[in-house]
Amino acid sequence: MIRSKMISCGSYLPKKILTNKDLEKIVDTTDEWIVTRTGIEERHIASVEDNEKTSDMAYYAAQKALDKAGLDGSDIDAIILATTTPDQTFPATAVTVQHKIGMSANGFAFDVQAVCSGFIYALAVADNFIKAGQVKRVLVIGAEHFSNILDWEDRTTCVLFGDGAAAVILEADEDASEGIQDQGIISTHLHSEGEYRDILYVDGGVSSTQTTGKVRMNGQEVFKHAVKRMSEVVRETLEKNNITSDDIDWLVPHQANKRIIDRTAKKLNLDSSKVVLTVGKHGNTSAASIPLALCEAVEDGRIKRGDLLLMESMGGGLTWGSALVRW
Ligand code: ACO
């Protein structure tokens, strides 16, 4: 069978760091409140002075992933870029990255919009293109400039998010066997539920207000759904593959809130030492959060070739999903 192997990853975080102490000067909040409720200590913010765009961050991350794999843009058949904060309404941010890395018109590039679940959705789409035999190498990117859609007077949301990008390269392995032993994406699981689209949303858009809008959220409702849905989708993934949480080497969760991650891990009897946590230093970077966490743990040597990874996320929509991957 064909399997999508993850052959490399690369990440980019803007230089500017905004700490909780900095936020104390902007809104009525405290470092203690933010750390206790979310685990977040600081986040990176894209440079306004340098006009640092989502496509720039995505490009830097993609180029690093290409360098690590010893490839260049001409080796890539498709780019699937997950973002909620594109450079423009159109064209897709992915085509800007395509142009910058020098990928030819033999392939294609497009964006996926599933907010914080965007990377898992993009991974699933890319995996299915590969399994269908339509492409051999795909650059999957999560990139967000979330600071531009935050209401910096709303303390209930502006303390939670950050900016950044990360990319993985998937390559078709045409000789893989069924089951969980071989490297690559073993299964993906996607869900959405439009009934709850108004508990986390942006209050603007092209066809409604003709403005970009700002993030609005019912935090407690989102929290409840996040723990419930992410625990469910993890169970679904384990059952589908006839494994238990003991088989998982690393949980690489969406980094929204340490309390959500802790509760989800506890519900699954997963030891906290098996959880990759970056929310403290990155905040919630939406579609970029899982690949950023993945890259960090790969680069510092925690995640090793052959490790079994479980990635899971939930975001606005509501959308949620998971991916079981042998690194
Ligand atoms: N600083 C200080 N006080 C604050 C702040 C702040 N930044 N924000 C809210 N408060 C106040 C509230 O006004 C409230 O005050 P009151 O009691 O006088 O009315 C009090 O703190 C408690 O507010 P709650 O909303 O009940 O706080 P809660 O414990 O639920 O924590 C939080 C809020 C952190 C937003 C939590 O609900 C949460 O994490 N929800 C999930 C949200 C999330 O992660 N969204 C990201 C996108 S979705 C995803 O990625 C999974």
Q: Is residue 178 part of a domain?
A: no
Q: Is residue 123 part of a domain?
A: yes
246 CB-near residues (< 8 Å, 6+ apart)? none
**Ligand 1 mean position, distance from CA 220 (Å):** 7
Q: Which member of 116, 145, 257, 295 is catalytic? A: 116
Instruction: 21-27: list long-range contacts, CB under 8 Å, 24+ apart.
Output: 23/158, 23/159, 26/152, 26/158, 27/152, 27/153, 27/154, 27/155, 27/158, 27/159
**Ligand 1 mean position, distance from CA 74 (Å):** 46
Claim to verify: residue 129 and residue 196 sit in the same structural domain: no
Decide if 9 is catalytic. Answer: no
Q: Is residue 93 part of a domain?
A: yes
Q: Is residue 179 part of a domain?
A: no
The label of the residue with tokens 């989708």 reads: 233
Claim to verify: residue 194 and residue 165 sit in the same structural domain: no
Say what the pTM is: 0.97
Q: Which member of 225, 257, 282, 284 is catalytic? A: 284
Claim to verify: residue 65 and residue 196 sit in the same structural domain: no
Claim to verify: residue 13 and residue 147 sit in the same structural domain: yes
Q: Is 156 in the pocket of ligand 1 (CB under 6 A)?
A: yes
Give the residue whose CA is nearest to atom 8 of ligand 1: 156
* Residue 144: both structure tokens together: 């967000």
Domain end (from 125, 152, 173): 173
Claim to verify: residue 163 and residue 283 sit in the same structural domain: no
Claim to verify: residue 134 and residue 165 sit in the same structural domain: yes
Q: Is residue 267 part of a domain?
A: yes
DSSP-assigned letter for residue 273? G
Task: Measure the CA–CA gap between 54 and 45, rounded to whole angstroms.
Answer: 11
Claim to verify: residue 127 and residue 40 sit in the same structural domain: yes
Q: By C-alpha distance, which of 125, 168, 141 is closest to 5?
A: 168
Q: Is 84 in the pocket of ligand 1 (CB under 6 A)?
A: no
Claim to verify: residue 123 and residue 196 sit in the same structural domain: no
Domain end (from 153, 173, 193): 173
Residue 10 and residue 58 in contact, taking contact as beta carbons nearer than 8 Å: no
Alpha helices of 132-193 — where are they, by DSSP H? Answer: 155-158
Q: Is 20 in the pocket of ligand 1 (CB under 6 A)?
A: no
The label of the residue with tokens 């790969």 reads: 298
Beta bridge partners of 184: 326
Domain end (from 150, 173, 196): 173
Claim to verify: residue 159 and residue 249 sit in the same structural domain: no
Q: Is 284 in the pocket of ligand 1 (CB under 6 A)?
A: yes
Domain count, the chain: 2
> What is the predicted pLDDT for the residue at 72?
96
Q: By C-alpha distance, which of 140, 110, 108 is closest to 123?
A: 140
DSSP of 177-236: -SSSSSSEEEEEEEEE-GGGTTSEEES--TTTTSS---EEE-HHHHHHHHHHHHHHHHHH
Q: Is residue 151 part of a domain?
A: yes
pLDDT per residue as tens digits for the range 268-286: 888 999 999 999 999 999 9
CATH number for the domain spanning 286: value is: 3.40.47.10
Give the residue whose CA is nearest to atom 32 of ligand 1: 219
Q: Is residue 294 part of a domain?
A: yes
**Ligand 1 mean position, distance from CA 317 (Å):** 19
DSSP-assigned letter for residue 172? E
Containing structural domain, residue 59: 3-173
Q: Which helix (H) or strand (E) holds 10?
A: strand 3-12
Claim to verify: residue 306 and residue 248 sit in the same structural domain: yes
Residue ranges of the chain whose pLDDT lies below 70: none
E-assigned strand segments in 97-198: 108-112, 137-144, 164-173, 184-192
Q: Which atom of ligand 1 is nearest to the CA of 161?
A: 46
Claim to verify: residue 189 and residue 159 sit in the same structural domain: no
pLDDT per residue as tens digits for the range 23-47: 999 999 999 999 999 999 999 999 9
> What is the predicted pLDDT for the residue at 48?
87
Claim to verify: residue 189 and residue 147 sit in the same structural domain: no
